[in-house]
Amino acid sequence: MPTAILVGGQWGDEGKGKVIDILASQTDMVIRSQGGNNAGHTVVHDGTTYKFHLIPSGILFPTCQCVIGNGTVLDPRVLMEEIDGLHEKGISTDHLVISDRAHMIMPYHPVFDRLEEEARGDDRLGTTYRGIGPAYADKIRRIGFRIGDLAKPRFLAKKLKFVLRLKNEILRGLYDTELFEEDVILDEYIRLGEQLRPYIRDIFPMVQEALRADSKILLEGAQGALLDLDFGTYPYVTSSSPTAGGALTGSGIPPREVDSTIGVFKAYSTRVGYGPMPTELTGEVGDVMRERGAEYGTTTGRARRVGWFDGAVARYSALLNGVDSIALTKLDVLSEYETIRVGTGYFFRGEHFEFPMSNISHLKHCEPVYEDLPGWMAPIADAKRWEDLPAACQRYVERLGELIGAPVDLISVGASRDETILRKLPY
Ligand code: GDP
Ligand code: IMO
Ligand code: MG
């Protein structure tokens, strides 16, 4: 049963794209199972940088079947642009397949995303404005459109008439803004549907066949556990389930087929958007860390919030996902610190806490408890083996593994593929 789930262990941007690219070389199928083009996965492959939003990070390997699963929400415009962009770089997408059950981001979804954020004022979430929340909300309300619907223009037109009545009513009455026209949407989406048709199909039979054939399957997570709709820092979360559980419903893989869960953790913390982040570093210390880590969003270009590694968050995330193996990234970014702090829990009103703290206001106002570890003050990007890492660096990695509660099998010390120490193949 060589099937593995790969999840982001923190607030997203842990370096999942890089790790997938490494594992994809010996994987038969990579499946994206949740999220949409809020994700931005960077892969530096043979000296070229690729930024994937919807397409699985295994696409650079022609032998790796890349599947966009039913649990995702897809903006067909963005999807087409991403496919065209790959063709321009000479990358084939013949091995890409899109589930006909995946829901579409309709042109009104990003508009509602923005309007709702503006209406929230000071309480806004800091979404990516890609229409993710509104698209998932419509899926749950059963007024969403699946990408397979593009092949059924009459059904699409009838349903859109009804849905647009609801949408335009709110746009007019509540927001007093521009309305959407059915024909304009239909023309554009049916045209996009024709272009995307070769990729769209029912993925159930092919996933079942892959399982039967004992193929190596990797489920590519987007976002991170702390952005999970149920278990993250609600309401400062995304609208899907970026956990191991979500990966299964988003792909149709039964739990008994899963062999291992790989958690990708960054050697420190970052977060984009609002919401609690107890170990956040603001001011100059934070600015230095942000520059060293080049922490600017792949999708929106926003400066990411940065902070020390939060062991309590990481342990919670490992328990929630059942992490068997850790891929630790961006260790090189910490090379110039004399002392490195690691959060192990929190104090709130004189009491010691650990995650889960479902009361968001406690998490906002708590004080982290830190453990100070000696830094190694030496570049490590050239390290190829565990033995090449300075002793203090090894101690740091081992301490994080202890706090998370799983072995650190892969260590990333730079953005490119060769800047990786593989202690053990995670699956
Ligand atoms: P993802 O969303 O989890 O795939 O992560 P992103 O691609 O959004 O952000 C990770 C960023 O860090 C990307 O720009 C990667 O190229 C870069 N990166 C990944 N691993 C390393 C590493 O070990 N060291 C450094 N310095 N950069 C890394
Ligand atoms: P990858 O896959 C980091 C954050 C947004 C915002 C919140 C809700 O690259 O790790 P949304 O647009 O999803 O409704 O925004 O979630 N967010 C991410 N942060 N990495 C991501 O993806 C993210 N996808 C969404 O910044 O705080
Ligand atoms: Mg990202």
Per-residue pLDDT reduced to its tens digit, 102-124: 999 999 999 999 999 999 999 99
Cα-to-centroid distance, 295 and ligand 1 (Å): 9
- Give the mutation target among 6, 19, 38, 55 for probing the ligand 2 site: most ligand atoms within 8 A of CB: 38
41 belongs to the catalytic site: yes
Is 92 exposed, middle or buried (CB count within 10 Å of its CB: 0-12, 13-18, 19+)? exposed
Residue 265 pairs in a beta bridge with 328
Three-state SS sequence of the chain: CCEEEEEECCCCCCCHHHHHHHHHCCCCEEEECCECCCCCEEEEECCEEEEECCCCCCCCCCCCEEEECCCEEECHHHHHHHHHHHHHCCCCCCCEEEECCCEECCCHHHHHHHHHHHHHHHHCCCCCCCCHHHHHHHHHHCCCCEHHHHHCHHHHHHHHHHHHHHHHHHHHHCCCCCCCCHHHHHHHHHHHHHHHHHHEECCHHHHHHHHHCCCCEEEECCCCHHHCCCCCCCCCCCCCCCCHHHHHHCCCCCHHHEEEEEEEEECCEEECCCCCCCCECCHHHHHHHHHHCCCECCCCCCECEEECEEHHHHHHHHHHHCCCEEEEECHHHHCCCCEEEEEEEEEECCEEECCCCCCHHHHHHCEEEEEEEECCCCCCCCCCCHHHCCHHHHHHHHHHHHHHCCCEEEEECCCECCCEEECCCCC
Work out the average pLDDT over 324-340: 98
Work out the average pLDDT over 89-101: 97
The token pair at 279 is 């170990």
- Quick one: pLDDT band at residue 1, thresholds 50, 70, 90? low
Q: Which residues of 279-288 are buried (b: 16+ CB within 10 A; e: fewer)?
A: bbbeeeebee
266 lines ligand 1 (CB under 6 A): no
**What span, in angstroms and rounded, lies between the C-alpha atoms of 278 and 274?**
12
Q: What is the pLDDT of residue 163?
A: 98
Q: What is the pLDDT of residue 298?
A: 81
13 belongs to the catalytic site: yes
Cα-to-centroid distance, 375 and ligand 2 (Å): 30
40 lines ligand 1 (CB under 6 A): yes
- Quick one: pLDDT band at residue 351, thresholds 50, 70, 90? confident
220 lines ligand 1 (CB under 6 A): no
Task: Tell me which ligand sits closest to the C-alpha of residue 18.
Answer: 1
**What span, in angstroms and rounded, lies between the C-alpha atoms of 266 and 291?**
15
- Cβ neighbours around 396 below 10 Å, total: 24
Q: What is the pLDDT of residue 122?
A: 94
- Quick one: pLDDT band at residue 359, thresholds 50, 70, 90? confident
- Quick one: pLDDT band at residue 287, thresholds 50, 70, 90? very high
Which whole-number Å values give the CA distances from 152 to 69, 160, 186, 200, 201, in the listed order?
A: 20, 12, 11, 13, 13
Whether residue 349 has pLDDT greater than 90? no
Cα-to-centroid distance, 73 and ligand 3 (Å): 16
Chain segment 174-221, per-residue pLDDT in tens = 999 999 999 999 999 999 999 999 999 999 999 999 999 999 999 999
